[in-house]
Structure 1
């Protein structure tokens, strides 16, 4: 025994100080055996300092890590854990690699360490690894379907770590627009800000694209559906093709929809197209027939063009050969005619058209057989052109009478030669002949018109002579016949021959009347004296009629010729005297009229002055740039029209004066009219521009914008002045028609959008019905929350629809309120059950003196209550909970036992003082947690639990 004491090593000494010294001085970590001794001391020594000394001696991260997990001494274990934390956080002399740090983070769950480490490290990889580890801990604890990385955690990390790699990682992890917007506000680096903007844009597009695309798809489907009302089949085909192309473009973006929605859209399209095919089956057959006919007509037209062109080339070749005396190979032409005839017979042309072309070939064959005669005719035609070219065109009637027969003979000969030539005349000869004929027609036309006019005048004069004779106006008839005779003698011989008989008859009549003039004139003049005496003795009531009557009698008197020589003078004197007497009352009347005309002249002069004032307004506007003095053309035009009307009704003035003052009035008004006309023209241009803009709006695709802008154009139209009587109504009708067409397009689009909206409404209503059926029987909180989230998504989709689906929104909102209330009720029920499980676990554990974890109700508790009960199980402190129980009863308003009323008053006063000083809100569950953690529960606490239980149940 004595020797054994001396043989023991220092590290085996009973004194811990000696063992520590041995570790520090005697044992080496380089010797494997001694290293094992140190490791054994670290694991098994009963002294904390020895174990610490061993760990320090080992100076290995792996040793510290192992002992932080396995050492049986809590303090040593904690000491090792602190050392590991210091090493990992680069706060110790021992260093570890980046990979070792990342491996440690991946394999261990030291969340407290990670949170502190995250605050200090600036390494991007470590920050990301630490953050993900902490976030995953949150996910595990919550046992929910929430994102592993909470938005608030990401936002805090983004703010704290201004590191590009870390911030890029956060941007990748965030899938919420609100959080991204917050990150953008916190960003301090341009590169990160740009990435945030790009991701926000992409996410917004990803959200908005399905909505916009869904609307476009529904609109295309509605337009396809509307094709059933299309009347014209070709229009139907064109529109269907356009809509099909539009569908293909939209289908390339269907990846933003889920498979079910894509299938729904495709099924709708297939159903609509099948319906359209069924509706248009008859028209499709008719269209096929029409297409066959169209293609046949095209082939016929091509055949006509081919045959016409071939025959024209043959005809031109023959004509050229004949004119230039070239040798013609008749057999070659005959072969060509036979080939062409065969082509015509087998062509798609109708029989009558084939016969027409074959007849043309026969004409060419006939021409080929008559080449000598045709050549002779061509020579004659050339000679005729040369001959007529030497004859000058007539410029007078005499020249026309002389040269016209020559031209007519030439024209007859030309037509005969042209006929005999069988169309073989060269174009140059035919053009020359046409020009000659045109020149002669142009030269003859005015001369023949002049002859015709002279002949017509002569005829009219002869007719006037006959009329005057019939009316007994022989004296006038003599004078007119004299003029007619001069005209007759000036006529051409051919024209004289046409009216010779009529002229000779009137000549004989005039000669006969010359003998009877005096015999007829005397009694008629005597009768005229009797007529004028009647109006002298009984004047007419109307002086103007009296004056006209006197003038009429004077005119008749002058036309009667001479009376007998002995009575002529006395009859003339008496007639003159009677005319003077009959005109006397008229002269007085006309004097009064003269005074009225003078008054009318003064009135008209005042109108001229008014016109000058209007003129001055226009001149003043041109000479000033003051906008306040701008002429009101509408008022000016009204004043002008009123002034013209007054002028027209101003009464008569003397003729010699009227012309002068009327010219003055019109000259004064001319600048005003010009200004108004210019104003009208300017308004016309403006309104035409408005019409052009309206036409552009009619062609635009955006009908809503077009309607808004065309309403603005209507306002501009109303504000634009009058464009003149000739064009105003026409311009308005054009503008109005375009407006009507735009509003008609809007009405059509409204119908389509209404149809699309109706389809979308049915779709969303079906979605709501599906949700209601799916969650009809749910009672669990998770299911109710899923139902609530689905309703929120659906409500958001409905809220984005235009026009608003108010009825459906109300239905969804009502359902959301119902589900929200059920969730609240469910949470309250769960909370109540939790309290029941808690009190039952506490009571049974106290009564049976068992561990909390041994009861089945313990497993039903939340993780937080389980943790508290575990902490309570380790609490050995004994504490009197009487006052704490009274506090709970006071705060909840529950009564206390009657024997404790005095104590309750004391506790209540203390509690009120504490509340007044702290100002914190009352939290009964937190207060109960404090009550529970005061110390170990005993049998005496069962009664207190019975008093507390009603507070929470």
Structure 2
């Protein structure tokens, strides 16, 4: 025994310090045998420091890697893992190749290491591989290809790695718009910023295109639906064709929709078209009938044109032949007539129209039989044209009286000759005859009008004579009759004959009145003297009325004619004296009026001065650049109108000066009026421009923009000045009508959008109802997750709708919360069941000494647990799990057996020290995995399992 102690090697010494020293000084990693000893110590030595010393001695990445996975001592295992991380991250003296690093990343799932490594490395290839590894860590469970990267980690990576290759890769992989926007803000390189800008624009277009296209499609469907209210079938067809074309254009962009939505849109369109076809079936039949009638009418019109043209050519040919004395082949014409008659009979024309054309053919046939007589008539017509051309047109009434009978005789002869030619006259002869008749009508018209006017005047004068006689105004009747007599003698004999009887009657009446004039005038003049004496003795209160009365008496006196010869002179002298006396008080009144007119003149002169001040104010305002002195045309126009009103009510002035001062006033105001007129014209032009802009807005399809801009035009209209009384109201009415039309378009658009929105709401509500019915009975986690995903997609679609569908959003959000809670509950239940299956599998396997895979609960476990159990089954190392069990109880807060309290205390202190040094969070499932993988189970481990089960169940 004593010798055995001396024969033992240092690496076999009980003292761990000696063993560590032996590893450091006695054993060589280059010697294969000694290397195996070091490896054995690393795997089996009871002391942590010995194992660590062995690993340090080997100084091999592969050794560190193997022990980080296989070492049975947790702390050594962790130490090896930290060393592996340092080597991979080039923080250790040991170096590994790029390929080894890439292989490690591909084969292992140390995601916490990868995240730290990703922060420190600057190698683009490594960054990309690490990025992909981390991003895809949840793919197995989530069955998804989407990046599972934390946004903050992504932003930090983008900010820290100012590497074009890495940033381009990140841009390529990121498909989230918000994240791209944040990346753009962090970008420091123009090339990367440009790529981000382009990708953001593409994604925004991809997001916005379906929304905008969906609105357009729904609008087209709403317009199609609205066609049911169309009254005119042709308008319905035109609009339907336009909408079909619009649909075809939109359909080229349907690739942005999923197949289900495309099918929905197409089904809606087909349903609407079927409804429209059913609704318009009667009108469609009527339209077909109308189209048949229209085509028949077109054929008839074409036939009419053809037959008219053919007959016109035949008629022209015959006319030319007759006029030029050419030989006419009657048989050839007859053949042509027979052919044309056959065409007419078989044509689509009605029977009466056919008969009309056949009658025209008969006329041409008759013309062939009367060729000598027609030729003679043509010669006579030509001679008549030549004869009348030699007669000059009349220019005076006398010439008209002389030449009109000759022209009328010629016209009668011409009509007879033209009739006898049976339409065979050449167009040139007809044109010449028409021109001659037109010239004569033009020459005769003013002369005949003048004659007619003279005749009317004479008639009126004779009527006036008769009226004056009836009124007892004989003296005036004598004068008017004298003028009527002159007019009567100037009339033509024919015109005199028409009114001769009336003229003779009045002549006799005037002669009779001449005898009675003196007999009647004397007593009337004496009565008039008595009337004027009355106003001399008792003047009227109003001098103006007195003066008017005197003037009236003078007028009546002059109209009474002559009195008896012996009394005429005396009566006239007495009347003149009385008139003078009666007018005396009027002269005093008119003198006072003269003074008033002088005062009125002063007032008007002051108005002229005011007008000059306005003119000066206008001139100063135009010349200055001072805004405070600029012309206020509105105020200026008000002042001008007030001044004109004052001028009009300023009272009378002497006629001798009124014209001068009125001209002076008007000339002073003229520049002001002109300036205001220019102001009105400028405002008119501005308002017409506003109307033009409003018309353009009315024509645009963007109604929302049109309404916004037309409101701005209304503001401009209000601040634009007055355009003048003649056009202001008209301009306003035009502008207002366009505004009304634009707002009417908006109202119509709102109705269509509301209809489309209602249809969309119904569609989305139906989709929600369908989802609820489809997943109403599901209880499995996968089904619940599918339901949640479908709700998320539907909610996203609803959120993109405009206007917002708040009620529907609330319904979907509430449903999402309910499903999310059910998923959480389901996951917890699944997790609890998994723990139950796991513990049953372990207990049954240990108790029965059977393989884990032979237990029935094994098949219920997840793939990760099955993999761990398979790895554990291959591990033949036995390990005491007592301390690890205490660690789990301490970390979970579960009590330990009373006889292990001292050991629990020791383990707890070690745990606290490790926790303080590492700072990592407590992960009980991970700790259990470490506990599970420590080594092969034995019957003694069943008790440990019983202690651990309450922690996880």
Q: TM-score, normalised by structure 1?
A: 0.78
User: Contact (CA 8 Å) 2:622, 2:631: kept in 1 or not?
Assistant: no
Range 267-276 or range 930-939, more displaced:
930-939
Query: Judging changes above 3 Å, is the alpha-carbon distance between structure 1 residues 887 and 513 closer, same or farther for their aligned structure 2 residues?
Result: same
1:295 Cα shift? 1.0
Report if aligned partners of 2:220, 2:247 keep a CA contact under 8 Å in 1: yes
Residue 291 of structure 1, CA deviation: 0.9
CA apart distance, 1:277: 1.2
CA contact (8 A) 2:72 2:934 kept: no
Q: What is the rounded CA distance, in whole Å, between the counterparts of 2:21 and 2:546 in structure 1?
A: 169
Q: Deviations over 1:656-690 (max 9, x none)?
A: 33333333333333333333333333333333332
> What's the CA shift for 1:287?
0.8
1:852 positional shift: 10
CA contact (8 A) 2:135 2:147 kept: no
Q: CA deviation at 1:237?
A: 0.9
Provide closer, same or farther for how the CA distance between residues 196 and 538 of structure 1 changes in structure 2, counting only shifts above 3 A.
Answer: closer
Question: Given that residues 147 and 174 in structure 2 are in contact (C-alpha distance below 8 angstroms), is that contact kept between their aligned partners in structure 1?
Answer: no
Q: 1:674 to 1:370 in 2, by over 3 A?
A: farther
Residues 763 and 578 (structure 1), Cα distance of their counterparts in 2 relative to 1, 3 Å cut: same
CA deviation after TM superposition for structure 1 residue 737, in Å: 2.6
Tell me if structure 1 keeps the 8 A contact 2:321–2:328.
yes
Please report how far the alpha carbon of residue 517 of structure 1 lies from its aligned counterpart in structure 2 after TM superposition. Answer: 3.4
Shift of 1:808: 0.6
Cα 1:553–1:784 change in 2 (3 A) is: same
> Counterpart in 2 of 1:353?
353
Deviations 1:339-360 (A, max 9, x none): 2222222222222222222232
- Maintained 8 Å contact 2:680/2:723: yes
Report how far residue 285 of structure 1 moved.
1.1
Alpha carbons of 1:804 and 1:332: their partners in 2 closer, same or farther (altered >3 Å)? same
Q: 1:191: how far off?
A: 6.9
Q: Per-residue deviation at 1:236?
A: 0.8
**Closer/same/farther in 2, CA of residues 461 and 40 from structure 1, 3 Å limit:** closer
- After TM superposition, give the deviation of residue 620 of structure 1 in Å: 4.1
Q: 1:400 offset after TM fit, Å?
A: 2.5
Alignment deviations for residues 370-425 of structure 1 (CA, whole Å, 9 cap, x no partner): 33333233323332332233222333322232222222222332333223233332
Q: Tell me whether 819-828 or 805-814 shows the greater mean CA deviation.
A: 819-828
Judged with a 3 Å threshold, the aligned counterparts in structure 2 of structure 1 residues 67 and 848 are, in CA distance, closer, same or farther, namely closer
Name the stretch that deviates more: 643-652 or 118-127: 118-127
CA contact (8 A) 2:703 2:742 kept: yes
1:20-66 C-alpha deviation (Å, 9 max, x unpaired): 99999999999999999999999999999999999999999999999
Tell me how far 1:770 sits from its aligned partner. Answer: 2.6
Measured at CA, do residues 554 and 239 of structure 1 come closer, stay the same or move farther in structure 2, by a change above 3 Å?
Answer: same
Query: Could you report, residue by residue, the CA deviation over 1:292-325 in whole angstroms, capped at 9, with x for unpaired residues?
Result: 1111111111112112222222222222222222
Q: Which moved more, 1:229-238 or 1:734-743?
A: 734-743
Q: Does structure 2 retain, via aligned residues, the 8 Å contact 1:686–1:720?
A: yes
Bigger Cα displacement from structure 2, 178-187 vs 943-952:
943-952
Deviates more, 1:33-42 or 1:646-655: 33-42
Correspondence for 1:180: 180
Q: How far 1:468 moved relative to its partner?
A: 3.5
Moved more, 292-301 or 245-254: 245-254
Cα-to-partner distance string for 1:675-707 (whole Å, 9 max, x where unaligned): 333333333333333233222222222222222
The worse-fitting range, judged by mean Cα deviation, of 606-615 and 761-770 is 606-615
Offset of residue 271 of structure 1: 1.6
C-alpha distance in 2 between matches for 1:881 and 1:58:
28
Residues 722/342 of structure 1: CA separation in 2 closer, same or farther (3 Å cut): farther
Higher mean C-alpha displacement, 82-91 vs 704-713: 82-91
Does the 8 Å CA contact 1:535/1:582 hold for their aligned counterparts?
yes
- Identify which range, 660-669 or 915-924, moves more after superposition: 915-924
Q: Is the 8 A contact 2:528 2:557 kept in 1?
A: yes
Q: Cα–Cα, structure 1 residues 366 and 614, in superposed 2: closer, same or farther, change >3 Å?
A: farther
- Residue 889 of structure 2 aligns with which residue? 889
Alpha carbons of 1:60 and 1:492: their partners in 2 closer, same or farther (altered >3 Å)? same
How big is the shift at 1:243? 1.6
550 and 900 in structure 1: CA distance in 2 versus 1, 3 angstrom threshold:
farther
Give the Cα–Cα distance (whole angstroms) in 1 for the partners of residues 438 and 144 of structure 2. 105
Structure 1 residues 387 and 945: CA distance shift in structure 2, 3 A: same
Deviations 1:204-227 (A, max 9, x none): 444433333332222222211111
Is 300-309 or 166-175 further displaced after alignment?
166-175
Residue 137 of structure 2 aligns to a residue whose secondary structure is helix
CA contact (8 A) 1:132 1:149 kept: no
| Structure 1 unmatched ranges of 5 or more | none
The structural deviation recorded for 1:16 is 25
- What CA distance in whole angstroms lies between the structure 2 residues aligned with 1:43 and 1:897? 31
In the aligned structure 1, how far is the partner of 2:556 from the partner of 2:39? 167
- Where does structure 2 lack aligned partners over 5 or more consecutive residues? none
Counterpart secondary structure, 1:137? coil
The 2-side partners of 1:558 and 1:500 are apart by 31
Partners of 2:946 and 2:52 in 1: CA distance: 50
Q: Which moved more, 1:657-666 or 1:130-139?
A: 130-139
Please state how far the C-alpha of 1:133 moved relative to its aligned partner: 7.1
Given that residues 72 and 879 in structure 2 are in contact (C-alpha distance below 8 angstroms), is that contact kept between their aligned partners in structure 1? Answer: no
Paired with 1:97 and 1:875, the residues of 2 have a C-alpha distance of 31
Q: How far apart, in 2, do the equivalents of 1:35 and 1:833 lie? A: 47
What is the SS of the residue equivalent to 1:878?
coil
Provide the alpha-carbon RMSD of the alignment.
8.0
Query: For the residues of structure 1 that align with 2:934 and 2:340, how far apart are their CA atoms?
Result: 124
Structure 1 window deviating more from structure 2 (76-85 vs 106-115): it is 76-85
CA deviation after TM superposition for structure 1 residue 137, in Å: 6.9
Note if contact 2:28-2:34 (Cα within 8 Å) is conserved in structure 1: yes
Contact 1:149 1:173 in 2 (8 A): no
Pick which of 633-642 and 565-574 moved more. Answer: 633-642
Larger mean Cα displacement after TM superposition, 804-813 or 119-128: 119-128
Q: Which moved more, 1:868-877 or 1:200-209?
A: 868-877
- Structure 1 residues 632 and 308 mapped into 2: Cα distance closer, same or farther (>3 Å)? farther
Aligned to 1:402, what secondary structure does the other structure show?
helix
Equivalent-residue separation in structure 2 for 1:81 and 1:940 (angstroms): 30
Task: State how far apart, in whole Å, the 2-side matches of 1:53 and 1:474 are.
Answer: 162
Shift in CA distance, 847/427, structure 1 to aligned 2, threshold 3 Å: closer
Q: 1:591 to 1:950 in 2, by over 3 A?
A: farther
CA change 1:321–1:216 in 2 (3 A) is same
Contact 2:680 2:722 in 1 (8 A): yes
Q: Distance in 2 between matches of 1:142 and 1:483?
A: 123
- 1:864 counterpart residue number: 864
1:99/1:386 Cα in 2 relative to 1: closer, same or farther (>3 Å)?
farther
Distance apart, 1:721 and its partner CA? 2.8
Any residues of structure 2 matched to 1:444-459 within 5 Å, and which?
444-459=444-459
Match of 1:620 in 2: 620
Aligned to 2:418: 418
Instruction: Report the count of equivalent residues.
Output: 953
Higher alpha-carbon deviation: 832-841 or 221-230: 832-841
Instruction: Rate the CA distance shift 1:600–1:417 in 2: closer, same or farther, 3 A.
Output: farther
Aligned 8 A contact 2:134 2:148 in 1: no
Q: CA deviation at 1:557?
A: 1.4
Deviation per CA, 1:794-819, whole angstroms, max 9, x where unpaired?
Answer: 21111110110010111112222333
1:594–1:258 distance in 2 versus 1, CA, 3 Å: same
Return the offset for 1:284: 0.9
What residue in structure 1 maps to residue 139 of structure 2? Answer: 139
Q: Is 108-117 or 580-589 further displaced after alignment?
A: 108-117
517-526 or 828-837, which moves further after superposition? 828-837
Q: Which moved more, 1:68-77 or 1:15-24?
A: 15-24
Compared CA separation, residues 69 and 865, structure 1 to 2 (3 A): closer
Change in 2 beyond 3 A, CA 1:43/1:832: closer
Structure 2 residue aligned with 1:391: 391
Q: Relative to structure 2, which stretch is displaced further, 507-516 or 183-192?
A: 183-192
Contact 1:164 1:192 in 2 (8 A): yes
What's the offset of the Cα at 1:240?
A: 1.2
With over 3 angstroms needed to count, the CA separation of the structure-2 counterparts of 1:726 and 1:135, relative to structure 1, is closer
Quote the residue 2:333 is aligned against: 333
Q: What's the TM-score, normalizing by structure 2? A: 0.78
Cα 1:851/1:669, change in 2 over 3 Å: same
Contact persistence 1:151–1:174 (CA under 8 A): no
- Equivalent-residue separation in structure 1 for 2:893 and 2:218 (angstroms): 62
Q: Higher mean Cα deviation, 125-134 or 242-251?
A: 125-134
Cα offset, 1:279, TM superposition: 0.9
- Report if the CA contact (8 A) 2:311-2:361 is conserved: yes
Residue equivalent to 2:502: 502
Cα offset for 1:572?
1.6
The residue that corresponds to 2:204 in the other structure is 204
Whole-angstrom distance in 2 between the partners of 1:78 and 1:32? 26
